[in-house]
């Protein structure tokens, strides 16, 4: 089952045009993701310019990735893929995400599976080359409140949000990079709360065994994230890259140094492209004069230029002269990181990236970066749209079928509630009030003809009174609907449950619900179902029906 993106809420216009009319946006990208010849051209381009312009070898990179991934409990398939990266004919199919607790929202799983699927497809299409799925851990981010929580359905199929805070207490500000945040004893309370919230099933013990192995005191968020995702999808051979690693940062020194030496060139290039984009679309990101952060006293601060070659750290009193900052870059490169604009440059400078599997917002902001890639002499990869998925549970599917409803209708709660009430009641509120409006309008029209003969000047007053009364009927209609809802509470609750399952908190399920809910209820076999069902060349929202069978 599939639904065109145009029929769904929450997708930006840039993304919709990227899917439906790539030619209208081709000037903002190097390659057409749906054109096989274009993709082959990207392979040739990357092969020509990757190794020759690096100060490191493929083997150096592979050695670092090997150490990282063994620490992440990588599968044999991932280890083999790292070995392939040593070869000049091997390329990376990359995706990435913040290191959300228990992998965060469901689309993290979707993106990881997509990178595997696309790598497999390219291997079949271009057998002279190897393609390896790589997951870029956005471990430098400091948006802790975006990664410290998950949403699941509880034992009564109601939404439940669970949060983890170090020391059990929320802070006013979080400026520490996620890579430096280690889990403490309060992670045990988080896991207990999760266990108490979820339905007890035959699979719960196994699921929580691997949660306990991955998430325990002393482990950082990115390490726990990678280990848990390896438990879920290890057999796919996904290679993880943690860019916060000091050894990785050493390889990225030329990128940071160029940004510091040439500012505000990157900023101006993004502004120039954004000015063209905003003639029709809303740009996703705003550049900074310098697009680099610096870690100081455990906090991540944006570097800002000051007169006379002085660099200041935003929200601190720390300042550097330019030679001092460059010296810091060479002696402690782990303290430097790129923002949303420089991150893709770092990623594709470091890795032999042939394609990046991107979500809707990512596609929109990649459109702002083509000139930046050119400035850094890094080949902009194919930007491949990730699959968008809704998992349709059997109980929801049966409810829809028995009431002649479609999944698309669940995305408009007010409309479907009205329709559903009309279906389960002999008295049709909409029909009654629509007929009443028609009859009143007809009466007012008929009487208006006679009244016009008496005093035309009063006729407009008569008509205004009519319109106001008709408007008041809408208020009464809502009251009658509310009354019917109360009278049919059981049926309405089933409808609301279906809506919450598919469109929780008025966002797509994949952007809200955590995968643990599904693997606890259906076992990890549900992940294989996702791998087998997702169609990477189908650029519509895909609905996958799941059951305990």
For 415-435, the pLDDT digits (tens) are 898 888 777 665 577 777 888
Tell me the C-alpha distance between 63 and 14, whole Å: 39
Tell me the C-alpha distance between 297 and 295, whole Å: 7
Is the model's pLDDT at 463 over the cut of 80? no
pLDDT reported for residue 309? 92
pLDDT reported for residue 426? 59
Given a contact cutoff of 8 angstroms between Cβ atoms, the answer to whether 259 and 288 are in contact is: no
The residue length of the chain stands at 549
Residue of 349, 78, 103 lying closest to 240 (CA atoms): 78
The arithmetic mean of pLDDT across residues 57-74, rounded, is 97
The string of pLDDT tens digits covering residues 372-393 is 999 999 999 999 999 999 999 9
Local confidence band at 486 (pLDDT 50, 70, 90 cut-offs): confident
DSSP 15-84: HHHHHH-GGGGGGG-SS-TT-HHHHHHHHHHHHHHSGGG-SS-HHHHHHHHHHHHHHTT--HHHHHHHHH
Given a contact cutoff of 8 angstroms between Cβ atoms, the answer to whether 184 and 166 are in contact is: yes
Peptide bond into 283 cis (omega under 30): no
Lowest mean pLDDT, pick from 8-17, 347-356, 369-378, 412-421: 412-421
The string of pLDDT tens digits covering residues 319-335 is 999 999 999 999 999 99
Write phi, then psi, for 336 (nearest 5 degrees).
-105, 145
CA distances from 382 to 90, 111, 160, 363, 379 (A): 16, 15, 38, 11, 9
As a whole number, the mean pLDDT across the chain is 93
Residues 189, 191, 197, 202: is their CA dihedral positive or negative? negative
Residue of 510, 335, 494 lying closest to 399 (CA atoms): 494
* 471: three-class secondary structure by DSSP: helix
Give the residue with greater pLDDT, 50 vs 137. Answer: 137
- Is this prediction's pTM over 0.85? yes
pLDDT reported for residue 424? 66
Contacts of 37 (CB under 8 A, 6+ apart): none
Given a contact cutoff of 8 angstroms between Cβ atoms, the answer to whether 232 and 195 are in contact is: no
User: How would you class 410 by CB atoms within 10 Å of its CB: exposed for 0-12, middle for 13-18, buried for 19 or more?
Assistant: buried
Give the residue with greater pLDDT, 119 vs 449. Answer: 119
CA distances from 510 to 193, 240, 288, 500 (A): 22, 22, 31, 12
The arithmetic mean of pLDDT across residues 109-126, rounded, is 97
Sorted by where each begins, the domain ranges of the chain are 12-136+232-254+338-390
pLDDT reported for residue 54? 81
Residues 85, 87, 90, 91: is their CA dihedral positive or negative? positive
pLDDT reported for residue 427? 59
The arithmetic mean of pLDDT across residues 82-88, rounded, is 97
The arithmetic mean of pLDDT across residues 425-446, rounded, is 74
Is the model's pLDDT at 448 over the cut of 80? no
Count CB-CB contacts under 10 A for residue 490.
6
Per-residue burial over 144-177, b = 16 or more CB atoms within 10 Å of its CB, e = otherwise: beebbbbbbbeeebeebebebbbeeeeeeebbbb
The arithmetic mean of pLDDT across residues 310-322, rounded, is 96
The string of pLDDT tens digits covering residues 142-200 is 899 999 999 999 999 999 999 999 999 998 888 899 999 999 999 999 999 999 999 99
Half-sphere exposure of 82 (CA within 13 A, CB side): 23
Give the helix ranges, DSSP H, for 385-428: 394-402, 413-424
User: How would you class 60 by CB atoms within 10 Å of its CB: exposed for 0-12, middle for 13-18, buried for 19 or more?
Assistant: middle
């Amino acid at each position: 089952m599939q639904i065109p993106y145009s029929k769904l809420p929450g997708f930006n216009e840039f993304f919709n045009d990227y899917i439906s009319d790539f030619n209208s946006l081709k000037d903002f990208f190097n390659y057409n993701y749906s054109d096989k010849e274009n993709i082959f051209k990207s392979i040739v381009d990357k092969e020509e310019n990757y190794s020759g312009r690096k100060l490191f070898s493929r083997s150096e990179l592979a050695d670092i990735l090997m150490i990282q991934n063994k620490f992440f409990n990588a599968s044999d398939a991932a280890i083999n893929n790292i070995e392939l990266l040593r070869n000049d004919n091997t390329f990376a199919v990359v995706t990435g995400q913040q290191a959300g607790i228990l992998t965060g929202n469901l689309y993290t799983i979707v993106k990881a599976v997509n990178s595997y699927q696309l790598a497999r497809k390219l291997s079949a299409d271009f057998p002279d080359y190897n393609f390896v799925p790589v997951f870029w851990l956005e471990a430098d981010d400091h948006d802790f409140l975006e990664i410290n929580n998950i949403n699941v359905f509880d034992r009564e199929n109601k939404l439940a949000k669970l949060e983890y805070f170090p020391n059990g207490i929320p802070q006013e500000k979080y400026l520490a990079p996620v890579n430096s945040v280690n889990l403490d004893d309060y992670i045990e309370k988080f896991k207990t709360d999760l266990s108490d919230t979820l339905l007890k099933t035959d699979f719960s013990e196994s699921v929580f065994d691997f949660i306990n192995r991955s998430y325990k005191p002393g482990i950082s968020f990115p390490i726990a994230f990678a280990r848990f995702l390896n438990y879920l999808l290890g057999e796919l051979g996904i290679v993880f890259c943690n860019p916060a690693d000091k050894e990785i940062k050493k390889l990225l020194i030329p990128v940071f140094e160029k940004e510091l030496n040439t500012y505000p060139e990157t900023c101006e290039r993004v502004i120039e492209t954004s000015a063209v984009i905003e003639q029709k679309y809303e740009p996703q990101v705003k550049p900074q004069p310098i697009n680099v952060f610096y870690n100081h006293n455990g906090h991540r601060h944006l570097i800002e230029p000051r007169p006379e070659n002085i660099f200041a750290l935003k929200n601190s009193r720390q300042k550097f002269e330019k030679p001092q900052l460059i010296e810091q870059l060479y002696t402690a490169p782990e303290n430097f990181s790129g923002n949303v604009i420089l991150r893709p440059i770092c990623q594709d400078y470091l890795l032999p990236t042939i394609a990046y599997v991107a979500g809707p917002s990512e596609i929109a902001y990649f459109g702002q970066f083509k000139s930046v890639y050119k400035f850094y002499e890094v080949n902009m990869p194919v930007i491949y749209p990730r699959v968008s998925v809704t998992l349709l549970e059997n109980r929801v599917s049966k409810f829809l079928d028995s009431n002649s409803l479609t999944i698309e209708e669940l995305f408009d709660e007010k409309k479907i509630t009205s329709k559903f009430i009309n279906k389960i009641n002999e008295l049709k509120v909409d029909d009654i009030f629509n007929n009443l409006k028609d009859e009143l309008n007809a009466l007012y029209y008929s009487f208006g003809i006679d009244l016009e003969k008496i005093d035309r000047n009063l006729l407009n007053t008569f008509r205004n009174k009519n319109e106001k009364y008709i408007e008041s009927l809408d208020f009464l209609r809502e009251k009658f609907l509310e009354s019917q809802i109360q009278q049919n509470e059981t049926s309405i609750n089933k409808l609301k449950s279906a809506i919450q399952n598919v469109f929780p908190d008025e966002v797509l399920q994949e952007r809200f619900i955590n995968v643990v809910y599904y693997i606890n209820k259906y076992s990890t076999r549900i992940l294989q179902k996702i791998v087998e069902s997702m169609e990477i060349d189908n650029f519509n929202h895909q609905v996958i029906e799941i059951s305990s069978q």
